[in-house]
A and B are shown apart, each in its own frame.
Chain A
Amino acid sequence: MTDTTNAAGAPRGQSAADLVAASLKRRHRKQVWLQAIGIGAISIAFTMLFILVMSLVSTGWQAFTQTHVTLDVYVDPAEVPVERLPRGGFADVAGASLGAMLPDVDMTDRATARSVRNILSNGAQFHLRDLVVADPGLIGRTVTIKVPVSDPFDQLNKGLIDRDTPNEFRRVKNNEIAWFDALQDQGAISKPFNWALFTNADSRFPELAGLKGALVGSFWALLVCFLIAFPLGIGAAIYLEEFAPKNKISDLIEVNINNLAAVPSVVFGLLALAVFIGWFGLPRSAPFVGGLALALMTMPTIIIATRAALKAVPPSIREAALGLGASRQQVVFQHVLPLAMPGILTGTIIGLAQALGETAPLLLIGMNAFITSAASSPFDSATALPTQIFIWADSPERGFVSRTSAAILVLLGFLVMMNGIAIYLRQKFERKW
């Protein structure tokens, strides 16, 4: 190229190709930089996530097992007379049979007997009672039971209590360690999976505390939230997107819905406290009220997701239906909405996942109460997963430390599962028009 009246206005002697070549190096360098920054950002994010999960797993995994002791209990008719059932000296008979397994203990000494009984969880006597009440024929016989040990011994078994700590500073004293080791030598100690974590409700004793109440409470709250937020959110979105005239009022509504999505959730909790509990007199701590508060919070998310999904349906589909003489309502319900459904469901699931992890509004309406049975209706008092974590994190007993982490892992598990479903739906129904 020697043409000096180059159309691109390149300086003499330099062709456009030369200029492009010269700029390539700079452009490549920029691209490399951009990539490096991107990879750096992702690595940092993943490292954080990894640290979070690892720290939870490292403290939480212990809570997924629970130390148990296997006992042969002689149900002494003197202590457990059949006519007094369901009351009886169940703790005493269980303690007596435990004492019989230990060397050199004088069970007639009341203090020693109490110490021996304290190896067992407080729940052991109730387990035994339930067995005997179910079959009073057991009185006078020997039954084998496998019951949790109390929290300090569980901690000892899991190596969380340091045996080298001087006796006077240690929760479990030297003689108790000797007893526990004796039991261990007899093969009476086992550490099975901690089903109680899922089948028990909350308890003051860590070894008995479980998430059932919280899981049930969260289930009711999410159900109420879904039943309210899903139809209302979709209805509002369809109206705004498909039918409402586009004017100042609809603009104002749109802005407000977007603002609503950004309102701190604690505000919805205050609102629920004032309106649902204060005015309407709904019960405190009830998942129904929690669900209402969460629905207020989730609705904007669903409305925004639904509108986006409706917008994404190509206009050619609407035109096709309109051109055939479909009414607007038919276009929306027979064509647009079915095509938008995967997007709507994805948005809804993500909204519900947010609601599942939401704590502040539930604290305000009292879903952080100490409740030892699972709710059987949305109007019973209950906790929810995040508030249960909140309660346990606040409890002084050592056993609750690992249980808190375990509960967080359970919550994270549900969140991952819900988001997984959302991703699956999105990919399964992703369409190419």
Chain B
Amino acid sequence: MNDMRKIERDVHMTDLKIKARGVNVHYGETHAIKDVDVDIVDKTVTAFIGPSGCGKSTFLRCLNRMNDTISICRVTGQIEIDGRDINDRAVDPVQLRAQVGMVFQKPNPFPKSIYDNIAYGPRIHGLTKSKAELDEIVEKSLRRGAIWDEVKDRLNDSGTSLSGGQQQRLCIARAIATQPEVLLMDEPCSALDPIATAQVEELIDELRRDYSVVIVTHSMQQAARVSQKTAFFHLGHLVEFNNTGEIFTNPQDSRTESYITGRIG
């Protein structure tokens, strides 16, 4: 734990954004998530930590119904965003995903221009009426993604021509461009070098002002640095969920303690 400064930060906002109750996920016979309850607060960063294969990604993907795309995956239980059940038949996953953006483990820019990468979401959702408006969104998103200065002169270059860290910030900017309310990030720094990681972490802290951010990470230091709330998963169970400072300084469960002291995982 190199940097414990942010752990002490208090969580002021307590508006509930996402409320999950009794969530179970099966991949065929595999029971990947077991009866998980989580409350995710608005305008905070919530970190999911836990050993590899414990179900962090699976749970994260429940929140924007990305698991729908896996045919063998079955999700039960209740997940509400702003009080609305996202698994309701009336909810279109397309609409949900516009509201709940996602950033993936491996940077995955489209093999299109930087501009088109950002403009894609606003275009398909019809968020803009004119080219000027779209230009504005692109610039705003790239600025929020902390990558504007690096790409402003090469918006027509391919997104895949950027470095790994730049690609990931481009993907974050792309997710922001659809103006989501929740941003899900699945190990966004695992493919990045330390400098790019620091840039992305800074960005995440910045994003907290406007979004509710849920980040999966295998690095406890990272969870400590960027999050206010931390959930510890183990073998599909949510073992402990508390303010980040509490989890790291005063874990209640022995498994949490073993994990953060490096004995499991």
Contacts and interface: CB of A to CB of B under 8 A. Distances in A.
Interface stretch (B37-45, B107-115, B248-256): B107-115
Contact of B124 (A314, A319, A323, A326): A326
B108 A327 contact: no
A324 B174 contact: yes
B104 interface: yes
B95 A325 contact: yes
Contact of A323 (B71, B109, B175): B175
Interface centre among B97, B160, B175, B178 (most CB of A within 10 A): B97
B104 A431 contact: no
B124 A320 contact: no
Contacts of B69: 318-319, 322
Interface residues of A, number: 21
A396 B108 CA distance: 66
Interface size range on B against A: 20 to 34
B111 A339 contact: yes
B181 to A, nearest CB: 13
A426 interface: no
B211 to A, nearest CB: 15
Interface string B13-34: 0000000000000000000000
Interface in A55-113: none
B86 interface: no
Nearest to A323: B102
B71 A246 contact: yes
B124 A325 contact: yes
Nearest to B107: A316
Interface string B57-86: 000000010100101000000000000000
Interface string A303-334: 00000000000101111111111110010001
Contacts of B160: 433
Given A316-B104, A433-B160, A324 B66 contact: no
A335 interface: yes
Nearest to A335: B110
A246 B69 CA distance: 13
B170 to A, nearest CB: 11
Interface of B: 64, 66, 69, 71, 94-98, 101-102, 104, 106, 108-111, 120-121, 124-125, 160, 171, 174-175, 178
Interface of A: 245-246, 314, 316-327, 330, 334-335, 339, 431, 433
